[in-house]
Amino acid sequence: MKIDRRRLEQSIEELGRIGETPRGGLTRLALTDEDRRGRDWMVARMKDAGLRVSVDQMGNIFGERAGAEPLPPVMMGSHVDSVPTGGKYDGQLGVLCALETIRALSAHGVRTRHPVTLAIFTNEEGARFQPAMIASGVLAGKIALEDAYNARDRDGLRLADELERIGYLGPEPCVPRAFRAYLELHIEQGPRLEEEGLSVGVVEGIVAISWSRLTLHGVQDHAGPTPMRSRHDALVAAAEVVTGVRRIATELGGDLVTTVGSLVVSPNIVNAIPGRVALSIDMRDPQDATLDRALPLLDRVVQEACEREGVRYELEHYWRVPRTPFDAGVVAAVERAAKASGAGWRRILSGAGHDAQYMAALGPAGMVFVPSRGGRSHCEEEFTPMDDIEHGANTLFLAALDLAGRA
Ligand code: HGY
Ligand code: MN
Ligand code: MN
């Protein structure tokens, strides 16, 4: 038994057109009108597939295919929101391969013992509202609903109000729910599978992640008459923080990665000394202990940069997800499925965060990776060949069938 490659390819093309950018990428930020259109398209396909669709308080969408027995479901999911000028595969592939798995079960007339549920999680990317994976975080009981509701985007709009506005503030409580297993197919977003000519990654776990936000308060002044000796330039301090964050990664070495991805300057004009800079720091490592060493180094980098420039600051380490090992039984089921699919595969660790990270706190979870061309992601160049997608989707299908059992 296999998935239907053509039907899957067509769904990828159709969903990929909602929020498509002129260069063939995707901008579908959480809770925007494009996100609403993407959600509506998915809900229509889930109903076409005969699923019982429900929406919870965080806008997470669930589509359940009944099982022969009243057992906890095998859940498969991912996200449909993207980063700005992102790609059409991050998140999209996970929900569409899960949909295709369900369609294939029906096409082959398979009744499973456990129900099979498709899940679509809100705001996985953390691009519009922070932190990332906020809705699976609430579902896992790791983030308070009120805190999530009060998250604001750069225009000051509240997450709850935007959920309401697009019509996806659902009635179902967003609370932990039992499941037999959670499976997520996702692009690797790194170079390993492609370098080794493999189609499938059997994911053993996800790295530890830390997000911090830093606001630097200098003295806004005129770029002309203000003597250099009396300046307190928030952007000069920020520049030293940016290079200091990179230095932490080079000094601690290993697999630690550090990134300043967002930097907002005000007043951000040619002829004024920047009075305020807000920036983000993302740090990740396979070991929590390394992040525990890196964070005090970050504190020191910020303190020294601000002392040199006479700038005040607020630094908040506001999000931390521990290194997440996946359930050995689910990883073994994914490995069996990869072997049965005939694809080239290897075990692999995820350097990107996923909703599976929070779902692993609730029950047995695992992931299936497919390659990223050139290892690229979170960019319009993001791409995965259909042959690899087919292998990954068949692996997901076989793993879900293995875990759900045949009636
Ligand atoms: O940040 C991440 O790793 C994911 O793309 N949200
Ligand atoms: Mn993703
Ligand atoms: Mn992503």
Together in a domain, 313 and 328: no
Question: Based on the domain organization, do 73 and 160 belong to the same domain?
Answer: yes
Closest atom of ligand 1 to CA, residue 284: 3
For ligand 1, whether the C-beta of 335 sits within 6 Å is no
Q: Is 208 in the pocket of ligand 1 (CB under 6 A)?
A: no
pLDDT at 68: 98
DSSP class of 226: S
Contact predicate 384/45, CB 8 Å: no
Do residues 225 and 370 both lie within one domain?
Answer: no
Based on the domain organization, do 214 and 198 belong to the same domain?
no
Q: Is 94 in the pocket of ligand 1 (CB under 6 A)?
A: no
Instruction: Please check whether residue 155 is in contact with residue 31, taking contact to mean a CB–CB distance below 8 angstroms.
Output: no
Ligand 1 atom 1 nearest Cα: 353
Tokens describing residue 229: 């000796």
pLDDT for residue 90? 98
Ligand 1 pocket check for 126: Cβ under 6 Å: yes
> Looking at residue 55, what is its pLDDT?
98
The count of structural domains within the chain is 2
Ligand with the closest atom to the CA of 121: 2
Please tell me what DSSP assigns to residue 58. T
* Closest-CA residue to 306 (of 277, 348, 285): 277
d(CA 83, CA 94): 16
- CA 360/CA 188 separation, integer angstroms: 18
Cα 330 to averaged position of ligand 3 atoms, centre (Å): 23
- By most ligand atoms within 8 Å of CB, the mutation choice from 93, 121, 124, 187 for ligand 1 is 124
Of 267, 300, 321, the domain-final residue: 321
User: Based on the domain organization, do 139 and 80 belong to the same domain?
Assistant: yes
Ligand nearest to the CA of 350: 1
Q: CB within 5 A of ion ligand 2: which residues? A: 90-91
Task: Indicate the residue among 321, 347, 370 that finishes a domain.
Answer: 321
Distance CA 332, CA 339 (A): 11
Cβ atoms of 93 and 384 within 8 Å: the answer is yes
- CB of 148 within 6 A of ligand 1: the answer is no
The number of helix segments (H) and strand segments (E) in the chain equals 12, 16
**2, 104 contact by CB (below 8 A):** yes
53 and 159 share a domain?
A: yes
Q: First-to-last CA distance in the chain? A: 16
Query: Is any ligand 1 atom within 6 A of the Cβ of residue 75?
Result: no
Ligand number with the minimum distance to the CA of 321: 1
Note the pLDDT tens digit of each residue in 21-46. Answer: 999 999 999 999 999 999 999 999 99
Segments in the chain below pLDDT 70: none
Tell me: do 190 and 223 sit in the same domain.
no
CATH number at residue 393: 3.40.630.10
Nearest CA to ligand 1 atom 2: 353
For 247-379, where are the E strands, in sequence order?
Answer: 257-259, 263-266, 272-273, 276-285, 312-321, 324-325, 345-350, 365-370
The boundaries of the domain holding residue 183 are 5-207+323-404
Distances (CA, A) of 403 to 72, 74, 199: 11, 7, 22
Which one, of 339, 61, 363, 369, lies nearest residue 204 by Cα?
369
- Same domain? For 198 and 232 the reply is no
d(CA 90, CA 100): 17
Q: What's the gap in Å between 369 CA and the centre of ligand 2?
A: 11
CB of 184 closer than 6 angstroms to any ligand 1 atom: no
End of a domain among 280, 303, 321?
321
Ligand 1: which residue has its CA nearest to atom 4? 353
Q: Are residues 182 and 297 in the same domain?
A: no
Q: Calculate how far, in angstroms, residue 132's C-alpha sits from the geometric centre of ligand 1.
A: 7
Strands annotated E in 221-311: 221-222, 257-259, 263-266, 272-273, 276-285
Chain centroid, CA 212 distance in Å:
17
Quote the pLDDT of residue 187.
98
pTM to 2 decimals?
A: 0.97
Can you tell me which residue has the tokens 């008459």?
225
User: CA-to-CA distance for 54 and 129, rounded, in angstroms?
Assistant: 23
| Model pLDDT, residue 132 | 97
**What ligand 1 atom has the least distance to the C-alpha of 189?**
5
Residues 276 and 260 in one domain: yes
Q: Is 53 exposed, middle or buried (0-12, 13-18, 19+ CB in 10 A)?
A: middle
Residue 131 and residue 98 share a domain: yes
φ, ψ dihedrals at 404, nearest 5°? -85, -20
Give the ligand with the smallest distance to the CA of 80. 2
Assess whether the C-beta atom of 353 lies below 6 angstroms from ligand 1: yes
Ligand 1: which of 89, 133, 349 to mutate, judged by most atoms within 8 Å of the beta carbon? 133
CATH number at residue 274: 3.30.70.360
Same domain, 154 and 196: yes
